[in-house]
């Protein structure tokens, strides 16, 4: 729909110029057809103008892609990502680098007061870029419990203050997927510890 497509276009450009790794919007096209949406999730859906935003990024592979594949395909996907985006790393170093990039992305989000809103494994990029601008928002005043996602209000899992820990949780799910692809456990745990050091400010 046009409303959410405009929001994504504007925010991805803002993030880019603020120095945050992100997908970008190549184009925004109105479809000329209405779509039915419940804007406030209050049981009153209404038609809105339809639109399509075309996003660009070096890759749209996400953590969640590894979770849904059979073990042999997980290894093939990891080999593909490494070959095209991390050619200087073997598999375990690849995981450590994903941890590092994700940690730095969380630092960028937190320093700007940006709240993603839906940090599930399908919305974290294997390249450490901001992806899938859904119910995102920005803090107006410091409130670690604030979330822009109305469906997240009961538990506030994806609130501002939880973002670093949710990133770590998602990286743990990625590590589990890679373990099933016969990666050595100790190397993956080293990558996870590196993420914790970044988040705590230690070197």
pLDDT tens-place string over residues 51-106: 999 999 999 999 999 999 988 899 899 999 999 999 999 888 999 999 999 999 99
User: Which stretches in the chain have pLDDT values below 70?
Assistant: 181-196, 198-203
d(CA 92, CA 98): 10
pLDDT at 10: 94
The pTM of the full predicted model, rounded to 2 decimals, is 0.85
The alpha helices in the chain, defined as continuous H runs, are 2-17, 63-67, 71-85, 91-112, 163-179, 185-200
pLDDT at 187: 58
* 186 noted as active-site residue: no
Residue 16's alpha-carbon distances to 8, 11, 20, 140, 171, in angstroms, are 12, 8, 5, 20, 24
pLDDT at 201: 64
Considering the candidates 122, 132, 152, 186, report the single residue annotated as catalytic: 122
HSE toward the beta carbon, residue 80, CA cutoff 13 A: 12
pLDDT at 121: 97
């Amino acid at each position: 729909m046009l409303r959410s497509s405009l929001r994504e276009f504007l925010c991805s450009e803002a993030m880019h110029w603020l120095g945050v790794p992100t997908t970008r919007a190549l184009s925004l096209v109105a479809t000329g057809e209405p779509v039915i949406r419940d804007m406030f999730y209050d049981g009153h859906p209404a038609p809105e103008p339809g639109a399509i935003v075309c996003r660009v990024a070096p890759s749209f592979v996400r953590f969640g892609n590894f979770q849904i594949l059979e073990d042999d395909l997980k290894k093939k996907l990891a080999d593909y990502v490494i070959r095209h985006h991390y050619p200087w790393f073997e598999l375990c170093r690849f995981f450590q680098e994903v941890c590092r990039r994700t940690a730095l992305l969380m630092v960028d989000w937190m320093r700007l007061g940006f709240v993603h809103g839906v940090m599930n494994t399908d919305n974290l990029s294997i390249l450490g870029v901001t992806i899938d601008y859904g119910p995102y928002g920005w803090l107006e005043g410091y409130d670690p419990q604030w979330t822009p996602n109305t469906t997240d209000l009961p538990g506030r899992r994806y609130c501002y203050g939880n973002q670093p820990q949710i990133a770590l949780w998602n990286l743990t799910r990625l590590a589990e997927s890679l373990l099933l692809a016969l990666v050595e456990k100790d190397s993956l745990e080293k990558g996870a510890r590196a993420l914790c050091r970044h988040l705590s400010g230690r070197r």
